């Protein structure tokens, strides 16, 4: 069979090519989340700005360039077949394909999210209940008393309902790291990301609860490991084997509880398996790993990447996303990696970002249809001097106002000056910015000052 996609460096792009994949997540570029035909030089310049290479669909590419590509790839395919079947010591080993069906995804399965402020108080109360529940789990385990899993199940069920109403309200609680957080805070944060992820792909409510509970309780078996093994920066092979026993310990503990859903046990048992079979405890691969366990593995990795153990500050989301994306089709299924990145957005709530106008801002709420244009709180002026009081700026609404002037012919696109996010920032660069205070001002104060005048074009 002829090769269907060709890797093309951006310097060699031509009109008529159908770009089917990029060398980075679509969410990290201004392009739509699907393939497109290159129609003009401006699109080529944009691709050259963001990518080193792209993948071009050979069949869909039109014109003379399509004919040429099909000839080249057909010849390459025939040569590969000859080399694959030729005997001799220099013959290359053909990788074994990973058997895994695409995950069925139902985008927009749930109603549009409500404003985070409307759900904030309920979310905060539920978050505290879940933290308290996890504290009780730790206490009961040390005293060999029954685990309070009935309360955990009830709190998670209510959390799922809260996330279904407003993902951003709970995302705030997962994003901001408190100074006095406990060791189990990682599991609480990961459970939030898991439910947000599940909402995005349209999991049924029962599956969301199962996924959330499993992600919350997946590490309980670590209490049976020594401090030396748990806190080791680098583990030798013997210590690594000892560490990996926590999965079986967790399953054994939870399976003794009649309140634990069997599906939760399956997720916990399989959440450290990896897509290419390199995980543990059973070396499962591809479709052998249950979908919810694959999702649990992704959110676990993401939270650990954004909150490295012992680090004073969290890592910018873009770095964690880049690490995750690099592991697609090895540790994690590519389709689920891309869906997870879309579910949290490139700039999750709580992310510090630099604007094209020079100000530093904190993302306070997503625009779920326009992920690159969230609501932000401006925290510095253009000289990077802290504002006395952060001010709200709705990037999507500002775009709408300016584009309306362009549509009416009153201003050109260059004249209105659309505001963009240029990058997310490492929190350690601006330690004086109190993200928790910004969160509290946005979510819980009745009136938040709005900042528009400097961005609006004169009529």
Residue 182 has a pLDDT of 56
Residue 170 tokens read as 């709970």
Instruction: Output the CA–CA distances (angstroms, integers) from residue 372 to 36, 198, 240, 292, in the order listed.
Output: 19, 21, 40, 28
Reduced to 3 states (helix: H, G, I; strand: E, B; else coil), residue 187 is: helix
Give the dihedral sign, CA 376/379/383/384: negative
Higher-pLDDT residue of 38, 184: 38
Mean pLDDT of the chain: 84
Are the beta carbons of 176 and 436 closer than 8 angstroms?
yes
Which alpha helices (H) appear in 102-204, and where do they start and end?
116-142, 149-165, 167-175, 185-201
Whether the model clears a pTM of 0.95, i.e. scores above it, the answer is no
Residue 83 has a pLDDT of 43
Residue 178 has a pLDDT of 61
Residue 111 has a pLDDT of 92
- What DSSP letter does each residue of 294-327 carry, written as one string? HHHHHHHHHHHHHS-TT-SSPPPHHHHHHHHHHT
53: enclosing H helix or E strand: strand 53-57
Higher-pLDDT residue of 163, 140: 163
Residue 59 has a pLDDT of 77
* Separation CA 64–CA 283 (nearest Å): 47
**Could you tell me the pLDDT band of residue 70, with boundaries at 50, 70 and 90?**
low
Reduced to 3 states (helix: H, G, I; strand: E, B; else coil), residue 56 is: strand
Is the pLDDT assigned to residue 458 strictly greater than 50?
Answer: no
CATH architecture of 116-344: Orthogonal Bundle (1.10)
Reduced to 3 states (helix: H, G, I; strand: E, B; else coil), residue 332 is: strand
Instruction: Output the CA–CA distances (angstroms, integers) from residue 394 to 255, 376, 416, 450, 451, in the order listed.
Output: 48, 6, 16, 8, 9
pLDDT per residue as tens digits for the range 261-317 = 999 999 999 999 999 999 999 999 999 999 999 999 999 999 999 988 777 777 888
Find the mean pLDDT for residues 180-192: 78
pLDDT per residue as tens digits for the range 219-237 = 999 988 999 998 888 888 8
Residue 6 tokens read as 């060709």
Specify the length of the chain in residues.
Answer: 459
Using the 8-state DSSP alphabet, how is residue 24 labeled? S
**Could you tell me the pLDDT band of residue 116, with boundaries at 50, 70 and 90?**
very high
Find the mean pLDDT for residues 114-138: 89
Residue 179 has a pLDDT of 52
pLDDT per residue as tens digits for the range 369-403 = 777 889 999 999 999 999 999 999 999 999 899 88
Q: Which of 176-180, 182-186, 303-307 has the highest mean pLDDT?
A: 303-307
Is the pLDDT assigned to residue 260 strictly greater than 70?
Answer: yes
pLDDT per residue as tens digits for the range 401-456 = 988 888 888 888 788 888 999 889 998 899 999 999 999 999 988 666 776 544 44
Higher-pLDDT residue of 79, 371: 371
Residue 51 has a pLDDT of 84
Are the beta carbons of 19 and 35 closer than 8 angstroms?
yes
CA dihedral 441, 444, 445, 446 (to 10 degrees): 140
* Separation CA 273–CA 456 (nearest Å): 51
Residue 459 has a pLDDT of 36
Are the beta carbons of 442 and 385 closer than 8 angstroms?
no
pLDDT per residue as tens digits for the range 353-367 = 999 999 999 999 988
Residue 87 has a pLDDT of 47
Residue 233 tokens read as 């920066």
Is the pLDDT assigned to residue 91 strictly greater than 50?
Answer: no
User: Where do the structural domains in the chain lie, given as residue ranges?
Assistant: 5-85, 116-344, 352-444
**Could you tell me the pLDDT band of residue 96, with boundaries at 50, 70 and 90?**
low
């Amino acid at each position: 069979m002829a090769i269907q996609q060709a890797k093309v460096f951006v310097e060699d792009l031509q009109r008529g090519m159908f770009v089917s994949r990029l060398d980075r997540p679509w969410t990290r570029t201004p392009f739509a989340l699907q393939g497109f035909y290159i129609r003009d030089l401006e699109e080529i310049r944009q691709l050259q700005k963001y990518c080193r290479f792209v993948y071009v669909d050979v069949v869909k590419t039109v014109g003379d360039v399509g004919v040429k590509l099909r000839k080249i790839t057909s010849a390459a395919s025939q040569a590969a077949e000859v080399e694959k079947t030729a005997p001799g010591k220099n013959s290359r080993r053909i990788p074994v394909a990973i058997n895994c069906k695409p995950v069925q995804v139902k985008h927009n399965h749930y109603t549009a999210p409500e404003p985070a402020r409307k759900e904030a108080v309920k979310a905060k109360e539920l978050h505290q209940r879940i933290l308290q529940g996890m504290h009780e789990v730790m206490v009961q385990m040390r005293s060999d008393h029954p685990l309070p899993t009935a309360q955990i199940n009830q709190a998670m069920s209510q959390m799922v309902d809260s996330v279904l109403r407003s993902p951003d309200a709970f995302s705030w609680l997962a994003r901001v790291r408190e100074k006095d957080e406990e060791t189990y805070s990682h599991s609480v944060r990961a459970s939030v990301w898991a439910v947000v992820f599940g909402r995005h792909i349209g999991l049924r409510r029962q599956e969301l609860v199962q996924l959330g509970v499993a992600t919350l309780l997946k590490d309980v078996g670590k209490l049976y490991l020594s401090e030396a093994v748990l806190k080791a920066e680098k583990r030798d092979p013997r210590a690594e084997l000892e560490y990996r026993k926590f999965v079986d310990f967790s399953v054994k503990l939870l399976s003794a509880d009649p309140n634990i859903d069997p599906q939760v046990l399956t997720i916990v048992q399989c959440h450290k398996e990896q897509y290419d079979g390199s995980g543990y405890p059973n070396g499962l691969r591809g479709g052998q790993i249950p979908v919810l366990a694959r999702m649990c593995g992704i959110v676990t990795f993401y939270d650990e990447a954004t909150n490295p153990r012992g680090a004073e500050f969290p890592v910018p989301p873009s770095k964690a996303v880049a690490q995750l994306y690099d592991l697609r089709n090895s540790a994690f299924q590519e389709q689920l990696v891309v869906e997870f990145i879309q579910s949290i957005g490139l700039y999750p709530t709580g992310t510090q970002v630099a604007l094209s106008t020079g100000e530093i801002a904190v993302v306070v709420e997503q625009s779920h249809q326009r992920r690159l244009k969230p609501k932000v709180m401006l925290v510095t002026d253009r000289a990077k001097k802290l504002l006395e009081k952060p001010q709200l700026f709705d990037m999507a609404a500002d775009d709408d106002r300016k584009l309306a002037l362009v549509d009416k012919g009153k201003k050109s696109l260059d004249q209105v000056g659309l505001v963009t996010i240029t990058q997310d920032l490492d929190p350690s660069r601006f330690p004086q910015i109190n993200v928790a205070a910004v969160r509290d001002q946005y979510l819980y104060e009745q009136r938040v000052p709005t900042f528009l005048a400097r961005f609006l074009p004169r009529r």
